[in-house]
Amino acid sequence: MSTRDLAREVLAGEDAWVVGGAVRDEALGRPVLDLDVACADPRGAARAFARRSGGSPFPLSERHGAWRVALGDETVDFTPLPDGIAADLGTRDFTINAIAEHLATGAVEDPFRGRDDLRFGLLRAVTDGIFDDDPLRLLRAVRLEDELGFGLDPGTEDLLRARVGLVTRPAGERILAELERLSAAGWRRLDEVGLLEPLGGTLDERLDRVDSTAFRLVTVFGAGLRRFPVSNELKRYAAVLLRAEPPADGSPRAIHRFRRATEPWALDALAFTGAERFRPAVEAARASEPAEPLLRGDELGLPPGPAIGRLLGEIAEERAAGTITTREEALAHVRRSAGPVRTDG
C-alpha cells in the first residue's frame, strides 16, 4: 500500500488535503518522497499513521502544531488546518506550492493558478509578504529555480532583490540545508540576485572543478564556513583543502608528501589548489599503494612516543620514492636515525 493510500485510510471521513511539494512533484513527474497532509488533528493523525505504518512520530513544530512520521527515506508531515484549505494555501510561499488535492476525493484547490505556473516553469510569490514572513524563502526561491529548472517571474524577483538583507536571519542549520542542495549554477544565481554577499560568500573559477556539495561550500566560504553548523567531517574536509599546497613536482616523493597531507581528499585538494595536472600521478600512487607497511610501530624496538610516528612516516616516504623496498632496508633506516633496533620481540 502506498503512503498516500495509507494516509487516506487513516483519515477516512475527515477533511484532509495533500499540499505543497508532493502535489507539485507529482504534477511534474518527479519522485514524491515526502508527503504533506493538512488536517484537523495533526498529532492524532501522526500517531494513528505511525501505528499502521510502523513509523516513528514526533512533533515537527510545537509552535505550529505540525507532526512528522519518519519511514526510512520517506517522511509524512501532518499540519494543522484551522481555517480551511483556502486559508492554508494563502500562507504558502510560491503558487506552485499552493495547490492542494483532497485526500479522499482527489478534488483540486488551486486558488493562485499554480498549475498554470507549473506548465510555464514560473516561480511566483503567493503574496508580496512571503519573504518577510519567512526569510528562508529567499534561498528556497533560488534552490527551487535550480532544482526544477524554473525561473522567477519578474515581480517575484523584484520582491526578492528588495529583501536580500533578510537572508541572514534564519537559523544557520536552515540556511545550510538550502545551500547544500545548490548546483554550481544555483550558486551563480544566488550571487546574481545579491544573496551570496550578505552570507559572506564569494565565487571564483574553482566552483565547477568538482561536482560536490562539500567542495562548493569550501570554495564559496573558505574559512568562513565555520560560521555554519557543519558536520565534523565537513570541518576536516575544509581544513585539509584550505591548508593544502600543490605538489612541488610530479616526483613520487612530492606526490607522497601531498597525499600524506590531503588524503582521502587528495584529488579534491588538487582541484582546489589548481594543480589538477598532477591528477594522473596521484591516481597512479593510489593504485600502487602497498597493502601492508614494511614495519609496524611495535617492531621498531623503541619506547612509545612521537619518534615512532616520525620514523614510520619517513619509511613510507622512502618506500614511495623507491629508496627503501624491503623490511631489512627499513630497519637499517631506523638504526641510522634512532640507534640500535631490538628485533627479537
pLDDT digits (tens, 9 = 90+) for 107-120: 999 999 999 999 99
pTM above 0.75, yes or no: yes
Q: Is 37 helix (H, G, I), strand (E, B) or coil?
A: strand
Look at residue 301 in the predicted model and tell me its pLDDT.
77
Q: How far is CA 260 from the centre of its chain?
A: 26
The pLDDT tens digits for 118-129 are: 999 999 999 999
Q: What is the DSSP string of 300-316?
A: S---SSHHHHHHHHHHH
Cell numbers linked to 65 = 502544531
Please, what sign has the CA dihedral across residues 329, 332, 337, 340?
positive
Q: Is 224 helix (H, G, I), strand (E, B) or coil?
A: helix
Superfamily of domain 1-120: Beta Polymerase, domain 2 (3.30.460.10)
Q: For residue 76, what is the enclosing H or E element? A: strand 74-80
Look at residue 277 in the predicted model and tell me its pLDDT.
97
Closest CA to 228 of 272, 177, 167: 177
Q: 159 φ, ψ to 5°?
A: -60, -45
- Region 67-77: mean pLDDT is 90
Residue extents of the structural domains in the chain: 1-120, 121-203, 234-287, 297-338
CATH of domain 121-203: 1.10.110.30
pLDDT of 306 over the 60 cut? yes
Q: Which residues contact 213 (CB under 8 A, 6 or more apart)?
A: 180, 181
Residues in the chain: 345
